[in-house]
Structure 1
C-alpha cells in the first residue's frame, strides 16, 4: 500500500504528492450527478486516482460506470507524463439542447507507467456535481487541472494564477 493512500479522517497536503505523478487504485466511492440525476457511479476499488505535487487528486473511472453516451471532440492536448489527451462531449440527461464539451477526458494510449488508466475517464468538477465518499467536491483554484478537492486535501495548489504567475492553457476550452 502506498504512503498516499488517503483516509477521510486524515489531512493530506498536496505539496507532499510526488512528481512525476503516480496512479493507483483508490478505495473511495465516486459519484457524479447532473441535473439531479446520477450519471456515473463507481464503487470503491474500481477507480484510480493520480497524485501529483501541488495538484488535487484526479480521479479516473471506468467508462462502463458512466450512464450517458459520450462522443469525442476535436480538442487535443498533450500531458508530459501521460501522453495524448482525448476529450469528450456529453448531452444533458434532461435536454438534448444542452451539451457540454471538453470537461471529460481520457488517455487512450498512455506510456507503460500509466497503463492502468488507459481509457478511464476523468471529469472536471462542473457543470455536474462530483462526490467522493458522499462529500461534494470543490474545484481546485481556477478549475484548471481538473482535480477534485475534498475536506481532507490541503496545501498550495497550482492554477492559472498560483504564486502570482499566469500558467493558463492558451488553447482555452
Structure 2
C-alpha cells in the first residue's frame, strides 16, 4: 500500500478511542470498553495463562502474550512463535494488509479433526509500535478454542476480525451486524 492510500485508510475511521460513543456499553467494575481503546492500537503485555486448542490437541500454551487493543474491536492476543507446537502449523498463501501493522501472513493448523484453514496469522515484518508482535502468532477463536486464565473466549463476529471476547470486555464490537460504518 502506498503512503497516500495508507493515510486515506487511517483517516477513514470515525472512532479513535478519544470519546466513547453514545451507543457503546458502559463497562462495569473490572471491565473494559472497546470504545476506550485507541487507534492506532495499543500493545499491552499480559501474564495470564493463554491456551489454544485445535480439537483435542493443545496447539499453544503461554503466560507471555500481547493484547492488541484497537477501537471497536475486542483484543487480539499474540503469543510468541515458540509457544506453539510447530508440528501442527502449515503456511498458508493468504495475505492481508493492516494499515497499522503491515502485511499479515496466515497459517493453517493440523488439528485432531483435520486441517483448519487460516486459523492463525502473524505480522513477520511489523514496524513502529507494532514491532513488539513481529513474528508472534494470533488465533481466530472462531476456528480454535482459545482460553484466557481458564475462561473460554467467545469469537468476534463477522469472520474477518480475530478479537477475543471475555467477560471483562464490553462492546458492541466491530463485525456485528450494522457495524460496517465503524
TM-score with structure 1 setting the length: 0.82
Q: Cα distance, 1:156 vs. partner?
A: 1.6
- Among 80, 87, 91, which residue is 1:62 paired with? 80
1:62-118, Cα deviation, whole Å (9 max, x unpaired): 1111124322211111000000000111112x35xx211212000000112111101
Is residue 61 of structure 2 the alignment partner of residue 41 of structure 1?
yes
- Stretches of 4+ moved more than 6 A in 1? none
1:127 aligns with 2:143: yes
Shift of 1:61: 0.3
Q: RMSD value over aligned CA atoms?
A: 1.8
Name the SS of the counterpart of 1:56 in structure 2. Answer: strand
Greater strand fraction, Structure 1 or Structure 2: 2
2:101 aligned partner? 82
Match of 1:21 among 33, 41, 58: 41
Structure 1 residues 149 and 143: CA distance shift in structure 2, 3 A: farther
Which stretches in structure 2 are left out of the alignment for 5+ residues?
1-28
Relative to the length of structure 2, the TM-score reads 0.78
CA contact (8 A) 1:21 1:50 kept: yes
Q: Is the Cα contact below 8 Å between 2:119 and 2:144 reproduced in 1?
A: no
